[in-house]
């Protein structure tokens, strides 16, 4: 578990995304509301919110975070044949909120899969990824469109990230936050 005692109390944000590939017929059933198990997008969004709030119960050694904002949106993309899940999280305090965003995206995607698997056995969760984060110890980061799984571009402090303005560096830190120490 990371020691967050000395971390400054600042606004922290993260945006994550997951995609679920489905057939065009299944995508039509989702959009038209004719899926036999009910409203896929509403149930997936609710499941994502519930999971994001319980991340510390699901991920070992993850600190409980008092989220101040958690938005989960499922958007069907007919051209790509996917349901795209986008999650935005925010909190004011020590510790980051990227695990909450990723957990919410993962559970929302799994919920979409669960609700359509009888209709579309070929449905698949394609991926879960962090799109951006700000306010944490690793400064501000944003995935570039061509970036691979571990690449990204730094976003200057004060720039707009996920429609919001990122926070300034903590006072007296010179913009740096000490490295994490692991242990129980």
Residue 78, pLDDT score: 94
Annotate 48-108 with DSSP letters as a single string.
HHHHHHTHHHHSTTPPP--EEEEEEEEEEETTTTEEEEEEEEEEEESS-SHHHHHHHHHHH
Residue 178, pLDDT score: 46
Kindly list the averaged pLDDT for each block of 10 residues, start to end, along the chain of length 184.
73 95 96 95 96 95 92 96 96 89 98 97 96 79 67 47 45 46 43
Q: Which of 3, 114, 118, 139 is catalytic?
A: 114
Mean pLDDT, the chain, rounded, equals 82
**Whether 69 is catalytic:** no
Residue 15, pLDDT score: 97
Spell out the domains of the chain, with CATH numbers in brackets: 10-143+152-158 (3.30.70.640)
pLDDT digits (tens, 9 = 90+) for 140-152: 888 887 654 444 4
């Amino acid at each position: 578990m990371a020691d967050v005692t000395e971390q400054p109390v600042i606004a922290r944000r993260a945006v994550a995304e997951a995609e679920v590939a489905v057939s065009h017929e299944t995508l039509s059933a989702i959009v038209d509301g004719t899926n036999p198990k009910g409203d896929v997008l509403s149930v997936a969004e609710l499941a994502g919110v519930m999971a994001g709030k319980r991340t510390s119960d699901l991920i070992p050694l993850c600190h409980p975070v008092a989220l101040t904002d958690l938005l989960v949106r499922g958007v069907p993309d007919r051209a790509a044949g996917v349901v795209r899940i986008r999650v935005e999280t925010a909190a004011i305090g020590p510790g980051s909120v990227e695990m909450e965003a990723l957990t919410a995206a993962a559970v929302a995607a799994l919920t979409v899969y669960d609700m359509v698997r009888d209709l579309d056995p070929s449905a698949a969760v394609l991926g879960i990824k962090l799109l951006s984060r700000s306010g944490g110890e690793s400064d501000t980061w944003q995935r570039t469109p061509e970036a691979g799984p571990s690449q990204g571009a730094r976003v200057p402090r004060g720039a707009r990230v996920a429609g919001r303005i990122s926070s300034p560096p903590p006072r007296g830190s010179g913009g740096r936050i000490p490295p994490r120490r692991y242990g129980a």
